[in-house]
Amino acid sequence: MALHQFILFASLFSIVTSQVPIPKRKLGYIFGEVKGITPVNVDAFLGPVCPDSKEVFPTLLQLANHYGPDVLTLRMHMFPLPYHRNSFLVAMGAQVVNRMISSAQGVYNWTGSVYDKIDTLSNTATKSMSEIQIISMLGDIAAGLGIQKSVFVQKMADPLVDEDARVEWKYTCTRGISGTPMFTINDVIVAADASWSLEDWRKVIDPLLSNNTSYQSFHSTGCKIGTTKCEYLPGKIECCTKGEACIPNIYSSAKYETLATPFCPDIFPSKSGACPQLPVWTPCDCRLGNIWCKKDIDCPARQKCCSYGCGCRSMCIIPDKIPKQIECKKPPRSFKIDPPHLISPCQLPKLPGPCIAALPRWWYSATSGRCEVFRYGGCCGNANNFLSQEDCEMQCVGGHLLT
């Protein structure tokens, strides 16, 4: 280990004392759709096959999602350490993915997929393998992202890919980075490590935002800038993003008007095909390395963004069939109903809807006289649709709306 540290120190010294090539663009990979200057900028310097970097990776994504692209920019840098044999090849692979997948999510999906297979890429596991064999393994990972393996392997031989990976490494050295993972907040190195939780990060970042109007707006409304507040039960909200419909779903006995479901489905799916059907009881499998996404546009090629049917992130999957076109008339945001003519949601039938998500919901069965679980497709449902058994039982007593 002492020899490795000496080699790294010598490399850092030689880089810092010489002119580093000026990159053609600002280096690093930005998470999400950041469109302007944000008050907080987190730069994460990760090792492509570093176990500690793997451990911190999900927390970084959680951090970026917590503050949103209007408040925080997460920029990831690949810093392949010399004692991780395959790390530079993985960093080159990130350059290839960045060229071939237009979505900003592409390199993050690549990184998560590599971390999921980190044991097979370790020094011990690959000690008798050639570089060509390692690149072939990486090609299999790229194929899971929708990139043709033969094209990926060909791109890995491109001198420009090698050069860009080297420039990224040299730039990182000039920042005083000597290991992974390391972090800066607004260009200042912070003493964070792989053990930090979201709450640890918030203790550092929240004070920086005490006078920021965008962040205060987020906390006062519960929704980030650019999203729409969607209330589905009194005091319970979900934030619909651009291109999503806030579909009325549950009656409020106090106001006699419709409130909205927390699903916020896309009005028009951006890609054809159907996600694999999952039963309601499918266990959550939030393994590191899933190709995370929010919408179809985040997925490469013809892959769709599909839900697990539980609390996990959605992931990109190649659709297994082409469904018939679904047309669902968007109901009004809110309308008044004369109380004597109000129809109880508890009297409505179970309606999974024509969409192909697998969302576990509860409905009141007038036949059995109790609340039962069912699979909601995600669109064109009715008001007899509750997030939990508790919500269903609070609303429905003997098939009548509580008043």
The rounded Cα 109 to chain-centroid distance in angstroms is 9
Residue 182: inside a domain: yes
**Which residues pair with residue 46 across a beta bridge?**
78
pLDDT category at 358 given cuts 50, 70, 90 is low
Give residue 246's pLDDT.
57
Q: Bigger pLDDT: 158 or 300?
A: 158
* Angle at CA of residue 269, ends 266 and 270, nearest 5°: 120
Query: Tens digit of pLDDT for each residue in 218-240?
Result: 555 556 656 666 664 555 566 66
Residue 109: inside a domain: yes
Query: Tens digit of pLDDT for each residue in 139-180?
Result: 999 998 889 999 999 999 999 999 999 988 888 888 888 889
Threshold 0.85, pTM exceeds: no
Please say if the pLDDT value at position 253 is more than 90: no
φ, ψ of residue 30 to 5 degrees: the values are: -85, 135
Share of the chain above pLDDT 70, in %: 64
Average pLDDT, the chain: 74
Residue 344: inside a domain: no
The rounded Cα 328 to chain-centroid distance in angstroms is 27
Enclosing domain of residue 127: 24-201
**CA gap 397, 138 in Å, rounded:** 57
Residue 151: inside a domain: yes
Checking 225-233 for CB contacts under 8 A at 24+ apart, the result is: 225/68, 225/70, 226/70, 230/260, 230/261, 230/262, 230/264, 231/259, 231/260, 232/259, 232/260, 232/261, 232/262, 232/387, 233/259, 233/387, 233/391
Q: Yes or no: say if 179 and 88 are a contact pair by the CB < 8 Å rule.
A: no
Residue 277: inside a domain: no
pLDDT category at 346 given cuts 50, 70, 90 is confident
Other Cβ atoms less than 10 A from the Cβ of 243: the count is 13
Query: Tens digit of pLDDT for each residue in 40-92?
Result: 999 999 999 999 999 999 999 999 988 888 899 999 999 998 889 999 999 99
pLDDT category at 13 given cuts 50, 70, 90 is very low
Residue 163: inside a domain: yes
| Residue 66 to residues 7, 255, 272, 347, Cα–Cα distance (Å) | 39, 32, 30, 38
Residue 258: inside a domain: no
Share of the chain above pLDDT 90, in %: 29
Query: Into how many domains does the chain fold?
Result: 1
99: domain CATH number? 3.40.30.10
Two structure tokens written together for 335: 């309308």
Report for 1-10, 82-91, 339-348: range of highest mean pLDDT? 82-91
Cβ-based neighbours of 89, under 8 Å, separated by 6 or more:
131, 134, 135, 138, 156
Query: Tens digit of pLDDT for each residue in 96-128?
Result: 999 988 776 889 999 999 999 999 999 999 999
Strand, helix or coil at 73?
strand
Residue 305: inside a domain: no
